[in-house]
Chains A and B, each alone.
Chain A
Amino acid sequence: NAGVIQTPRHKVTGKGQEATLWCEPISGHSAVFWYRQTIVQGLEFLTYFRNQAPIDDSGMPKERFSAQMPNQSHSTLKIQSTQPQDSAVYLCASSLAENTEVFFGKGTRLTVV
């Protein structure tokens, strides 16, 4: 069990460019989460998939952020027209079921310059 795998670990983009972050959840886990962490806001929920279906995207900034889960082994978070305020650590996590603990990947540190 390699845990939740996130790539890349670091990404630097220019303002206005697109950034795509990748996540491979733990095999067999039906629930996948995306979180964002900053010093100011702490850990913020972005979106949630269950059995690959998008269930809750209440934390996603509506305009430029999107997430997909095309198959059970990976999910992507795409940020269009990145802005400096998007700079953060983006964390993917998965859990076996709704009532079990959530395991986190090591995160992708996004820096928008």
Chain B
Amino acid sequence: AQKVTQTQTSISVMEKTTVTMDCVYETQDSSYFLFWYKQTASGEIVFLIRQDSYKKENATVGHYSLNFQKPKSSIGLIITATQIEDSAVYFCAMREHDSGYNKLTFGKGTVLLVSP
């Protein structure tokens, strides 16, 4: 069974708008960490933002923010004022205590296309 699920295969938006990407996860652990990564056209995987399971406040870094809904096991990524260079594949990932934090489990990714 998939532990991290991204249901949106691709999203197209106009530049300067706000986009939300969905991610749901499965875990029995009380302690886990959630991450969003961006994979650029060159293939480079870049860390964007993290959410610790014990924190109630949604994380924010630059124009990235998270919508963490713990009861729903959901961690959405919100990008405000999108730019052309935000076009990429976005991956949600989880690092959980059950696996000894030994691995980062990824979703399948969401392709974001930002048009002028």
Contact = CB atoms under 8 A, between A and B. Distances in A.
Given A104-B45, A106-B44, A107-B43, A48 B50 contact: no
A55 to B, nearest CB: 6
Interface in B91-116: 91, 93, 95, 99-106, 108-109
Interface residues of B, number: 24
A101 B106 contact: no
A interface SS class: strand
A32 to B, nearest CB: 11
A104 B47 CA distance: 8
B102 A55 contact: yes
A102 B106 contact: no
Contacts of B33: 99
A48 B103 contact: yes
A98 interface: yes
Interface in B28-51: 33, 35, 37, 42-47, 50
Given A101-B47, A102-B104, A107-B45, 15 more contacts: A33-B104, A42-B109, A55-B100, A56-B99, A56-B103, A91-B45, A101-B35, A102-B47, A102-B93, A102-B95, A103-B47, A104-B44, A104-B47, A106-B43, A109-B43
Shortest Cβ-Cβ A-B pairs, 3 listed: A98-B101, A56-B102, A104-B45
